[in-house]
Structure 1
Amino acid sequence: MGSSSYGHRLAIAPMMDWTDRHCRFFHRQFSQSTLLYTEMVVADAVIHGDRERLLGFGSVEHPVALQLGGSEPEKLAKAARIGANFGYDEINLNVGCPSDRVQSGTFGACLMKTPQLVADCVSAMKQAVAVPVTVKCRIGVDDQDPEEALAVIADAVFAAGTDALWVHARKAWLQGLSPRENRDIPPLDYDRVYRLKRAYPERFVGINGGIRSVEEVEAHLANVDGVMIGRAAYHEPVILAAVDSRIYGKADEPADLESVVHAMADYAAQHIASGGRLSQITRHMTGLFHGLPGARRYRQILATEATRPGAGPEVLLRAISAIDLSARDKAA
């Protein structure tokens, strides 16, 4: 595709309540190269809140991007600088989230209606940090014409210097649909994103929305520079096992599922020793053995035993004993 120096071919989408540091550590067990994202963090929270709790991450998570929510250039610049100082590899501006909380703050998908303000935010962030500044948007909101709306927002952010534009290939309906419905009901329009890429051959354009497999990733990469997977990677993380070899051309062996569980058990032991709870980690792991014999029992053990007070990493090891590991090669 284009000649942009921004080289991330696959990313895991920022997902509220899901892509926290424990989820990212888990996903990193399958792919060393995939770009990982935080949940969206509001700029005001970064500036005034508990930064270690909101922004802390482990070195194994690199490459990792911080997604910010906000609409005030000065605050976003300050939050971006804080994020860059924490060591994030990229700062991303959310121009796509349709939640009521985001709307009340006049940011997220609402910003599709104010492209010059988005450009001002990007420009301020670019001046504040040396790491890439990127944007994630929709193809339009409400009654906007996606042909015009996406072109206008792209013109604005590319002129402001954004290093990449990730496009969720659906409209967002701010009135009439819930955030959950906005993830499924508005129809996907991949061709609109492909046309945007053709209009900007030298800029990085990535695509997001409804992508469920490495095969689909490969097909999209014939038309755009990067692909972002969301819920599919969360519910069936094993699909990430082939990413480094097939998408990045690396010769690494696919992740061994038993080794992943042992790595997560060691990680859980450290987390618990520092005052955390096992369930904060295991809640991200219920889809690990999707489709394998014993997966239901594995999920039951995590759901019941991992949530008990004092639960330790031995629960994870007990859960894996329910799986027929002779079938694991079919998953990896």
Structure 2
Amino acid sequence: MNSLGRKFAVAPMMDWTDRHCRVFHRQLTRRALLYTEMLTTGAIIHGDRERLLGFDACENPVALQLGGSDPSELAQAARIGEAFGYDEINLNVGCPSDRVKDGRFGACLMAEPELVARCVDAMKRAVAVPVTVKCRIGIDDQDPEVALDTLARAVVAAGCDALIVHARKAWLNGLSPKENRDIPPLDYERVYRLKRAMPDVPVIINGGIPGIDEAKAHLEHVDGVMLGRAAYQEPWRLLSVDSDIFGETAPHATMQDALEAMMPYIEAQLARGTRLHAITRHFVGAFHAVPGARAFRRHLAEQGVKPGAGLDVLRDAIARVGVRAPAEAAA
């Protein structure tokens, strides 16, 4: 494992892990490695880079996930990401969405391991920060025993610094992107076997992991764990990451404290024209089984979307939560 501390990470998730989400998650854990949403090479090379790539320094360590299949374009996008201050460049070889497939990137690249290796090689030559790959165990009719090993060995030979494996197949023919997150069966043992076969390569497991206790169990077999929907939909779980995974003190003892720490950031964003809801939409699952949690969600949903909504809306929502005990105690 390198200095990034890939022992625990929050997964890159489209439309979810934007810069506001990551600042929020950083109030809950100092040690988790955070990821951007997947950004295509075309968007980075030709789009509004500050809007797409800009982030607050408090988010570090944070990795940039790229979508693409052209080695030269990926190298260019990786250089741009490194210049913006990202700590890692990750190549998406796991997303099953139709538009990803049509663009020849994402999970469909599982069928082209040699191309993925050329992409990794080009990025490694372009940047000094680590380059990693996030993949599935296979796609469609591939045999995961063969497909995952073939891809892994190809990208490691090209210099890949770590493999993040979503422990499901992706069925590009027959399942929707949403169905691909749940229907293909999880096969954690397949990822464990990959780690045993490649003991010197950092292997991080992802897919269907519901909480920190389960993450700790996986760490007996692999180098790191990546939480996706559980971390986003129930962010209170992240309050125990630093203590339970790293043996350190969390940045804030309660969810209320973490949200209070968000206030200066939110105030600065509102002054730049950001709407409150763009930030507070990430707080919906902040409280779990806590008296007032439903009132908190309702108040944000009804008042946070209104033009001119400010910090008073968030403060009023927090005031509806009746318990100041550590959020993880509500699990």
Range of TM-score over shorter length = over 0.9
Q: Determine the structure 2 residue equivalent to 1:268.
A: 266
Q: Determine the structure 2 residue equivalent to 1:288.
A: 286
Deviations for 1:11-35, whole angstroms, at most 9, x for unmatched residues?
0000000000000000000100100
Closer/same/farther in 2, CA of residues 326 and 129 from structure 1, 3 Å limit = closer
Matches within 5 A, 1:242-253: 242-252=240-250
Which deviates the most, 9-18 or 257-266?
Answer: 257-266
Q: Would you say the 8 A contact 2:93–2:133 is kept in 1?
A: yes
User: 2:22 matched to 1:24?
Assistant: yes
Following superposition, the deviation at residue 255 of structure 1 comes to 3.0
Superposed CA RMSD in Å reads 1.3
Deviations for 1:225-279, whole angstroms, at most 9, x for unmatched residues?
0000000000111111111122112144653222112122322111110111000
Gaps of 5+ in 1: none
Q: Determine the structure 2 residue equivalent to 1:165.
A: 163
Taking the aligned partners of 1:272 and 1:253, their CA distance within structure 2 comes to 24
Q: Determine the structure 2 residue equivalent to 1:189.
A: 187
Q: Determine the structure 2 residue equivalent to 1:14.
A: 12
Closer/same/farther in 2, CA of residues 33 and 253 from structure 1, 3 Å limit = closer
Q: Would you say the 8 A contact 2:63–2:89 is kept in 1?
A: yes
Q: Would you say the 8 A contact 2:94–2:170 is kept in 1?
A: yes
Q: Determine the structure 2 residue equivalent to 1:316.
A: 314
Q: Determine the structure 1 residue equivalent to 2:207.
A: 209
Q: Determine the structure 2 residue equivalent to 1:106.
A: 104
User: 2:134 matched to 1:149?
Assistant: no
Give the number of aligned pairs: 330
Q: TM-score, normalised to structure 1's length?
A: 0.97
Q: Would you say the 8 A contact 2:254–2:324 is kept in 1?
A: no
Gaps of 5+ in 2: none
Q: % of aligned pairs identical? A: 64
Closer/same/farther in 2, CA of residues 226 and 215 from structure 1, 3 Å limit = same
Q: Would you say the 8 A contact 2:27–2:252 is kept in 1?
A: no
Which deviates the most, 136-145 or 241-250?
Answer: 241-250
Which deviates the most, 278-287 or 322-331?
Answer: 322-331
Q: Determine the structure 1 residue equivalent to 2:218.
A: 220
Q: Determine the structure 1 residue equivalent to 2:227.
A: 229
Specify which of 245, 256, 259 is matched with residue 258 of structure 1: 256
Runs ≥4 in structure 1, deviation > 4 angstroms? Answer: 3-6, 326-329
The aligned amino acid for 1:314 is D
Taking the aligned partners of 1:291 and 1:141, their CA distance within structure 2 comes to 38
Taking the aligned partners of 2:251 and 2:35, their CA distance within structure 1 comes to 24
Q: TM-score, normalised to structure 2's length?
A: 0.97
Deviations for 1:96-119, whole angstroms, at most 9, x for unmatched residues?
000011011000000000000000
Q: Would you say the 8 A contact 2:93–2:110 is kept in 1?
A: yes
User: 2:162 matched to 1:178?
Assistant: no
